[in-house]
A and B are shown apart, each in its own frame.
Chain A
Amino acid sequence: MTETTQSTDTDQAAESAQTSDIEMQGSGQPLEVTAGETREKTRDEWTDYEFEGDAKFAVEDLDVYYGDDHALKGVSMDIPENSVTALIGPSGCGKSTFLRCLNRMNDRIKAASVDGTVELDGEGIYQDGINLVELRKRVGMVFQSPNPFPKSIRDNISYGPRKHGDLETGFLANLLGRSDDEEVEELVERSLTQAALWDEVKDRLDDNALGLSGGQQQRLCIARALATEPDVLLMDEPASALDPIATSKIEDLVHELSEHYTVVIVTHNMQQAARISDQTAVFLTGGELVEYGDTEQVFEDPESQRVEDYISGKFG
């Protein structure tokens, strides 16, 4: 991102006469504004969101770079606990990037560097000495395409707790009389029931998970994430690869889970966001958080003209 393009974004944004000029400059770099989008300056108060209760996540001035590519720009938002927060926006605007910041999965991308603070229950997760295992136990994640392990359904569910040493199974544990086979059974049933999959698979727990349908696999992945007893569930477009029936099952599930879990869900389907979320954050091109607030307010009376255009389908 060159200096000039950055300044056009902030200072001269309102001057629509220059739009075409600016877009020409963007060749090779992501365009700051897509076709059909009005130019306006983002105001801080659009992203202020007052809510009752505690914040699960507090994000302050978060910047993410992929090499020279500035993917997220100064994002600040508080995410309330035990609710569903939807992240929407056109593709490439940084929704997944933001989500990955919340459990530090960005650490796995070599080019990525993160600036700013993210607090989980008041503790900074980017400070030194953070225990990544503990963080990811508390913050579970479900990916866009279902990715169960090529193991049995039972082993998929018990994988996390076993690797954390919370459950002991296997030959040696059996020999020493410390095997937690019963606990495993309980855990598997509980997690699968929570993920609304138990009835469908209870007779085939030893079958390979790859034999399940796409929708079942995705619910298995949710159950697998729930098995480590997290507080937060991050979901990156969990239904985008699924058919309508499987999608509606996932939506119902998300709604139920929000009673006990903090769910942050990325979607590019605005109806879905409107149906299932309590609050909605709108990211727009260029990696900016433009508006954040109560879902009803964002969808019915957005403060930003760009957001209104996006929601009414003028671009995106």
Chain B
Amino acid sequence: MAGAVESELVSEDTSETEAVAAAAVGVAAILFALSLAALFELVTITDTVAGIPMVALLGALLILLGLGVVGFGVGSRLGYVATNPRPSAGLVAAVAFSGIWFVVGGLVASQTLGLGTIGWGGVAFVTGGLAFAVTALPREDIGSTLPAGLLAVFAGAVFVTGLIGPGWVWDLGWEQSASFNAEFTIPVITAFCSLLVSWGAAKSYGGFGARGRHVGAYLLVYLNALSIIAVLFLLVAFTVFKGLPGLFNSISFGLGVGPETTLFGFTFAWPLSWPFVMNGVALLNDVNGVLPAIAGTIWLVIGAVLFAVPLGVGAAVFITEYAEHGRFTQVVEIATNGLWSTPSIVFGLFGLAFLVPRLGNGKSLLAGMLTLGFMLLPLVVITSREAMLAVPDEYRDASAALGVTKWQTIRSIVLPAALPGIVTGIILGVGRIAGETAPILLTMAGSVAPPGSQTVDVIGGFRFISSPPFVENPELLQATSALPYQLYSLITAGVGQSSSIANIEQFRWATALILLVVVLGFYAVGIATRYYFRRKLQHE
């Protein structure tokens, strides 16, 4: 290999320089997390830590990091640090940095220096071009550290000198008079700069070259994944913290404290009294609850699944295994995809105009179930079809060669192999429909906060009658409530204030938490089912 630089297979002097780079990566990651926390107001930037204002501290850290990374790059260029840089940091990095510096230059020129359009445009182009040149032209060690490090130093300096301090506001002057305030701007700038610096530091840690790029990319992917998880976690945690007080209001344990239930003729009292999930809303209740809405939501989902899954899987079997591949299956595919992206309010309107008049001419649980079932149907078809197409043809051939008929093959080989995929589709679909508000509003919703006595009892509602169809279930034809609908009404319409709910704010959050728990509960059931079927198909 002519011209290839021999590098050691085992690098021995990993010690100091790598430790410095690793420390820089670590500090940058901490800074990144800190700024995320500030963004979600877990940390207040107006605070002082050990007598130093938070903003100044962030700025100082940024300057330190920036200088460190620049120092590493320059040291590498001058040969004090052993690395394997490429001739250039590459076009992607150059374009990215020039874009960033273009924005920075433009903002400084227009907002701080107050230049006009031509002025700030010129400055922006100059800074952007400079950044491009600095990134693309020198060796990789300079190109990937200098623009990132200098940006951090610049941002840090702005914070330390108080150019952007806690009281800073950038009024955009739009009609709605939108503005960026310090609580938003400072964390975002800090997060962005620390991200760039940590990338540069990670590349330094890898010694630039192929390994450096690998480490840099790895860091970005990792930080990205972590911040997604963090946001999710924050969202759930926020709801839980807000909802817990209302949820566990006057909960008590002990023999016979709970409500009485009659099952198969036996009457027993629950050893647990949990007013929020066992009561409805009534004047005489000590603590009001959402039992009717919980029952409504659960029955709604069960009904929709019972309606949509057999139909959807059946349709998928037909178009995958029986129908000729061609125009017809294409049309069906387009139609199902289109149905899946149809807005839910359209389904609701369909339910209101078509189902409600035909089902006892009033909003009812059954109409809600069917409407949500129609919503669920396309996803079940799509995912079942994908799952069945993914079953290898070898299985079908093997079965046919044994003289087994097509239908038996589908039932005993294709469907079991496709089940985990089908269940995945149902899980996703249930996640969507369980939280739907609009269709329920139009097809099912009765009073916002019904009393506990109006809880639907679908199982107990079945009754035999002497004329066709010989069974009836008045419970299914009753209007009832569901959690998302109740939550919506409590928040937007201000319903409930006048009723007997004592602490409406607490009640809302507890309702939201219960909705979250119910949906996650369905999730858990689905995932357990999928795990069970998948285990059956696989060896350990």
A residues engaging B (CB < 8 A)? 103, 105, 108, 132-137, 140-141, 143, 145, 147-151, 159-160, 163-164, 207-211, 221, 224-225, 228
Stretch at the interface among B12-20, B61-69, B276-284, B395-403: B395-403
Q: Pull 23 A–B residue pairs with CB atoms less than 8 Å apart, ordered by A.
A: A105-B400, A132-B403, A136-B402, A137-B403, A140-B401, A141-B401, A143-B394, A143-B398, A150-B395, A150-B417, A150-B536, A150-B538, A159-B402, A159-B404, A159-B412, A160-B402, A160-B403, A160-B404, A164-B404, A208-B537, A209-B539, A211-B540, A228-B403
With a cutoff of 8 Å between Cβ atoms, the chain B residues found around residue A134 in the complex are: 403
**Residue on A with the closest CB to B325?**
A110
C-alpha spacing A129/B305, complex, angstroms: 43
**0/1 string, B368-412, CB within 8 A of A gives 1:** 000000000000000000000000101101111111110010001
Most buried by B among A137, A147, A208, A211: A147
| B402: chain A residues within 8 A (beta carbon) | 136-137, 140, 159-160, 163, 224-225, 228
A228 to B398: give the CA distance in the assembly, Å.
13
User: Which of B400, B403, B416 counts the most A-chain CB atoms under 10 A from its CB?
Assistant: B403
Q: Is B269 an interface residue (CB 8 A)?
A: no
Residues facing A in B248-277 (CB within 8 A) are none
User: A145: shortest Cβ distance to chain B, in Å?
Assistant: 7
In the assembled complex, the CB of B67 is this many whole angstroms from the nearest CB of chain A, namely 57
Among B395, B401, B403, B408, point to the contact of A149 (Cβ < 8 A): B395
B520 interface contact, C-beta 8 A: no
Q: Is B458 an interface residue (CB 8 A)?
A: no
| 1/0 contact string of B502-540 vs chain A (CB within 8 Å) | 000000000000000000000000000000000011111
- Given the interface pairs A147-B394, A149-B413, the reply to whether A136 lies near B403 with Cβ below 8 Å is yes
Across the A-B interface, the 4 shortest Cβ-Cβ residue pairs: A211-B539, A136-B403, A147-B394, A208-B539
List B contacts of A208 (CB < 8 A): 536-539
User: Of B392, B395, B405, B416, which one neighbours A133 at CB under 8 angstroms?
Assistant: B405
**Contact present for B398 and A149 (CB under 8 Å):** yes
Q: How far is the CB of A188 from chain B (nearest CB, A)?
A: 15
**Beta-carbon contact of B401 and A105 below 8 Å:** yes
Q: Closest CB-CB distance, B512 to chain A, in whole Å? A: 42
Which residues does chain A contribute within 8 Å of B399, judged by CB atoms? 149, 159
Least CB distance, A236 to chain B, in whole angstroms: 10
CB of B219, distance to nearest CB on chain A (Å): 38
Q: Measured between alpha carbons, how far is A125 from B538 in the docked complex, in Å?
A: 38
Across the interface, which residues of A come within 8 angstroms of B392, CB to CB?
147
Whether A163 and B412, one on each chain, are in contact in the complex, defined by CB atoms closer than 8 angstroms, is yes
Asked if B539 contacts A207 (CB within 8 A), the reply is: yes
Q: Which of A136, A145, A147, A150 lies in contact with B537, CB distance below 8 A?
A: A150
Partner of B397, one of A108, A159, A163: A108
A163 touches B417 (CB 8 A): no
CA distance A245 to B402 in the complex (A): 27
B392, closest chain A residue (CB): A147
Residues on B with C-beta less than 8 A from A160 are 402-404
Which residues on the A side are within 8 Å of B398 (C-beta)?
Answer: 143, 147-149, 221, 224
With a CB–CB cut-off of 8 A, which chain A residues contact B413? 149
The chain A residue sitting closest to B537, CB to CB, is: A150
Chain A residues closer than 8 Å to B539, beta-carbon distance: 207-211
A208 to B402, CA, bound (A): 20
Residues of A within 8 A of B416 (CB): 150-151
Q: How far is the CB of B417 from chain A (nearest CB, A)?
A: 6
Q: Which one of B408, B536, B538, B540 contacts A163 once the chains associate, using CB atoms below 8 Å?
A: B408
Residues of B within 8 A of A103 (CB): 401
Q: From B401, which residue of chain A is reached at the shortest CB distance?
A: A141
On whether A136 and B401 interact (CB within 8 A), knowing A145-B394, A149-B395, A149-B413, the answer reads yes
CB distance from A209 to the nearest CB of B (A): 8
List, in ascending order, chain A residues with CB within 8 A of B538's CB: 150, 208, 210
Residues on A with beta carbons closer than 8 Å to the beta carbon of B400: 105, 108, 136
What is the distance, in angstroms, from A34's C-beta to the closest C-beta of chain B?
A: 29
Chain A residues, Cβ within 8 Å of B540? 211
* Distance in angstroms between the alpha carbons of A137 and B405 in the assembled complex: 12
